[in-house]
A and B are shown apart, each in its own frame.
Chain A
Amino acid sequence: MREFFAKLFQDKFARISFFTLVVLYLIILFANFIAPYSSSYSNRDKAYAPPSKVYTIDEKGNLSRPYTYNYIREFEPTLMQTIYKQDRSQKYYLKLLPKIEGHRHLFGVQDGGELYLLGTDINGRDVFSRLLFGGRISMTVGFLSLLIVFPIGLLYGGISGYFGGIVDVLMMRFAEAVMAIPSFYLLIILAAILPTGMTSVQRFGLIVVILALIGWAGFARVVRGMVLSIKNEDFVSAAKTIGASDLRIILKHILPQTTSYVIIAMTLSIPSYILAESGLSFLGLGIQQPDASWGNMLKEAQEFTNILYRPWLLTPGILIFIAVLSFNLLGDVIRDILDPKSQKRI
């Protein structure tokens, strides 16, 4: 184990991605503390306010404590749209570890001030805070789905490969049929038939299940292939001779042999779950408002005016990109370490 991590950290890419992921997970773990606003915060008067500018140099050119100005909303009659202007009359200083609504936060701003590091969305909610809360969903959905995919895939592939014959043929035809349906089509159909009026936790749980339903077949097929070659090994015949039951042989003797493949497959498949969830939520079929996920935050970026005049709404996309990239790079290196035969990235 120690050797594994030593090898892992030798690689520059793996080091950077590992720490990026650790930081991301720590941030979402402490989202309540780090986010300046709560997940239910919404300021209806400040829809689409641009990011607050934080200054450290005051108007006389001296260094100052960081401060910001509030925005005031004005209607511009010539452009026929609302615009935001800074209200330069009142400075608001940033505060470290303030107590807001009875909770301690990492940072905040003086009473009456508004601090929207990444602007606000259509409902006047702080995008920065929502990014952190949304990360909780987007970054965990993959892991949770894998918790369902792996037992099913391992058992299915194990049984199919071990027994062979007609069992194998039937089980594999079924898995192939699941794989033959274009996965994204199946995904949106399953998501669309979810009953409405569920609580957000129920919905999240079902999205996890749906993602797992799409992913297990491909995994089961590979496990089956591995089991086919393992089942002829001597230790399997030995176990059979002393009278071990079939299930025991599959679970105790054959499946543990596939561990390194499982670890590789896990790290390499998490990105696809993150992407699938964000795609679903982007279409409005995944996580629903008012809950945040990176995908459904990007839903607002479907409108032209938003992407042209409110680029801060695109920040969730950048986070998805960073998370997926980190998992990919980490997965590549883990594969190189655990599977010396592969030469994908030497």
Chain B
Amino acid sequence: MEFFKYISKRILQVIPLLIIVSIISFFIIRLAPIDPLAELRLNPSISQETLDKEIKRLNLDKPIYIQYVSWAKSFLKGDLGYTSAGEKVSTKLKERIPNTLLLTSIVIFMTWIVGIPLGIFAAVKKETVFDRVLTVISSIGMAIPSFFFAILLLIFAVKTGWFPVGGLTSYNFNELSLIGKFFDLAKHLVLPTVVLFTISLSGLQRQMRANMLEVLDSDYVKFARAKGLSEFKVIFKHALRNAINPMITLLGFEFAGLLSGAALTEYVFQYPGLGRLILEAVMKSDINLVMASLMMGTIMLILGNLLADILLMLTDPRVRGTK
């Protein structure tokens, strides 16, 4: 019961957050001296009827707060309007969001599989050669600009010809068998994954190491050792469970960082994700698309944080107890 109370409270908190975010983004974009329908007007394939529908939908002839309300209403109904190319914004988003989610979830999964053990190991073997080498590597990983690293990998891909450059699928994707499709996708995902993986792994590994060191220094670990427990049991039964909790909170932040980092990486690799979509939309000042993808990005981020909070509650009884 306690569990559902907490979750519903947490979900309710999301609503005001979303409203504020939508107001901020709406006003930032609308205060810009750009006619939201300029591109649509110039597009000969767009009928006057569609244009009128858009003007009516966005209430462009009314004051800005009414515009906001009507925009919010149609957003809730799932009507996001048309892109400047005349496509439906919602179809465009449906096509791109899964790609970004695919990329980020693979990266998060991999960083956790690799980063957590590395962090534990570095903490346990503190100040050994292994730890020092890891520290140097993670410093390098944190300092390299994602787009620069992506470019370096592109050079590598072109020179060796081992990986396809750009896109998510090959031109003959639809003719491939199921297994062929899988390998084609995987091949295209390797390079963007490597870039994002390297960058977020460094932070994760460091954080895990720091948490682990803090826990290993605490009284209950000293007590467990004094009791004569094996080092293995001390680390995995007592220390790890406490050290990993803050990492779950960080999961939300990691997701945020990935969404932002992915934008540049997607751009360099021509990966059809949300980040590149919003970039292209911004360059073409396609207001509907910018607004919708910004909101979707925000919603994804908030949901990511929500998920992390719920996960934390499942693993950490203290959170359940106090709240």
- Asked if A147 lies at the interface with its beta carbon under 8 angstroms from chain B, I say no
Whether B298 pairs with A182 at a CB distance below 8 angstroms is: yes
- Asked if B101 lies at the interface with its beta carbon under 8 angstroms from chain A, I say no
Complex Cα gap A278–B148 (Å): 10
Which of B16, B24, B127, B143 lies in contact with A346, CB distance below 8 A? B127
Whether A342 pairs with B145 at a CB distance below 8 angstroms is: no
Whether A180 pairs with B21 at a CB distance below 8 angstroms is: yes
Whether B135 pairs with A345 at a CB distance below 8 angstroms is: yes
- Asked if B29 lies at the interface with its beta carbon under 8 angstroms from chain A, I say yes
Residues on B with C-beta less than 8 A from A193 are: 28-29, 31-34
Q: A185-198 toward B: CB 8 Å interface, digit per residue (1/0)?
A: 11011101101000
**Interface residue total, chain A, C-beta cutoff 8 A:** 44
Question: Nearest-CB distance from B323 to chain A (Å)?
Answer: 16
Question: Nearest-CB distance from B263 to chain A (Å)?
Answer: 5
Complex Cα gap A343–B213 (Å): 7
Question: Nearest-CB distance from B270 to chain A (Å)?
Answer: 10
Complex Cα gap A346–B131 (Å): 11
- In the complex where A304-B158, A307-B155, A320-B145 touch, is A177 in contact with B263 (Cβ < 8 A)? no
Which of A183, A278, A308 lies in contact with B256, CB distance below 8 A? A183
- In the complex where A183-B256, A188-B263, A343-B213 touch, is A325 in contact with B143 (Cβ < 8 A)? yes
Whether B20 pairs with A177 at a CB distance below 8 angstroms is: yes
Complex Cα gap A307–B298 (Å): 34
Residues on B with C-beta less than 8 A from A275 are: 145
Complex Cα gap A189–B292 (Å): 12
Whether B210 pairs with A190 at a CB distance below 8 angstroms is: no
Complex Cα gap A33–B167 (Å): 45
Whether B17 pairs with A180 at a CB distance below 8 angstroms is: yes
Question: Nearest-CB distance from A176 to chain B (Å)?
Answer: 6
Residues on B with C-beta less than 8 A from A185 are: 259-260, 263, 275, 278, 293-294, 297
- Asked if B312 lies at the interface with its beta carbon under 8 angstroms from chain A, I say no
Whether B148 pairs with A344 at a CB distance below 8 angstroms is: no
Residues on B with C-beta less than 8 A from A184 are: 259-261, 263-264, 275
**Interface footprint category on B:** 35 or more
Question: Nearest-CB distance from A8 to chain B (Å)?
Answer: 17
Interface residues of B in 280-323 (CB under 8 A from A): 282-283, 285, 290, 293-294, 297-298, 301-302, 305
Residues on B with C-beta less than 8 A from A186 are: 25, 28, 294
Complex Cα gap A123–B140 (Å): 32
- Asked if B147 lies at the interface with its beta carbon under 8 angstroms from chain A, I say yes
Residues on A with C-beta less than 8 A from B209 are: 344
Interface residues of A in 190-212 (CB under 8 A from B): 190, 192-193, 195
Nearest CB to that of B291 among chain A residues?
A189
- In the complex where A180-B21, A185-B263 touch, is A278 in contact with B145 (Cβ < 8 A)? yes
- Asked if B144 lies at the interface with its beta carbon under 8 angstroms from chain A, I say yes
Complex Cα gap A328–B31 (Å): 37
Whether B267 pairs with A192 at a CB distance below 8 angstroms is: no
Q: A284-303 toward B: CB 8 Å interface, digit per residue (1/0)?
A: 01000000000000100110
Best-buried of B165, B206, B268, B282 by chain A (most CB within 10 Å): B282
Whether A182 pairs with B147 at a CB distance below 8 angstroms is: no
- Asked if A314 lies at the interface with its beta carbon under 8 angstroms from chain B, I say yes
Total of A-B residue pairs, C-beta within 8 Å: 139
Complex Cα gap A304–B151 (Å): 9
Question: Nearest-CB distance from B162 to chain A (Å)?
Answer: 15
Residues on A with C-beta less than 8 A from B158 are: 304, 307-308
Residues on B with C-beta less than 8 A from A250 are: none
- In the complex where A183-B256, A184-B261, A343-B217 touch, is A195 in contact with B33 (Cβ < 8 A)? yes
Q: B63-100 toward A: CB 8 Å interface, digit per residue (1/0)?
A: 00000000000000000000000000000000000000
- Asked if B224 lies at the interface with its beta carbon under 8 angstroms from chain A, I say no
Whether A180 pairs with B298 at a CB distance below 8 angstroms is: yes
Interface residues of B in 141-157 (CB under 8 A from A): 142-148, 151-152, 154-155
Which of A182, A189, A271, A324 lies in contact with B259, CB distance below 8 A? A182
Interface residues of A in 27-52 (CB under 8 A from B): none
- Asked if B139 lies at the interface with its beta carbon under 8 angstroms from chain A, I say yes
Whether B139 pairs with A329 at a CB distance below 8 angstroms is: yes
- Asked if B56 lies at the interface with its beta carbon under 8 angstroms from chain A, I say no
- In the complex where A307-B154, A346-B126 touch, is A181 in contact with B139 (Cβ < 8 A)? no
Best-buried of B32, B145, B146, B275 by chain A (most CB within 10 Å): B145
Whether A181 pairs with B264 at a CB distance below 8 angstroms is: no
What are 29 residue pairs bridging A and B, where the CB atoms are less than 8 Å apart in the complex? A177-B21, A180-B17, A180-B21, A180-B298, A180-B301, A180-B305, A181-B25, A182-B256, A182-B259, A183-B256, A184-B261, A184-B264, A184-B275, A185-B275, A185-B294, A186-B28, A271-B142, A271-B143, A278-B145, A279-B264, A283-B267, A298-B147, A298-B148, A308-B155, A308-B159, A314-B152, A317-B145, A324-B143, A325-B139
B residues adjacent to A (C-beta < 8 A):
16-17, 20-21, 24-25, 28-29, 31-34, 126-127, 135, 139-140, 142-148, 151-152, 154-155, 158-159, 165, 206, 209-210, 213-214, 217, 256, 259-261, 263-264, 267-268, 275, 278-279, 282-283, 285, 290, 293-294, 297-298, 301-302, 305
Other 10 A-B pairs with CB < 8 A, given A180-B298, A302-B268, A320-B148:
A173-B20, A180-B17, A185-B259, A185-B297, A189-B28, A189-B282, A302-B151, A307-B151, A307-B154, A325-B143
Q: 8 closest A-B pairs (Cβ-Cβ)?
A: A184-B260, A193-B32, A317-B148, A325-B143, A177-B20, A324-B143, A192-B282, A182-B259
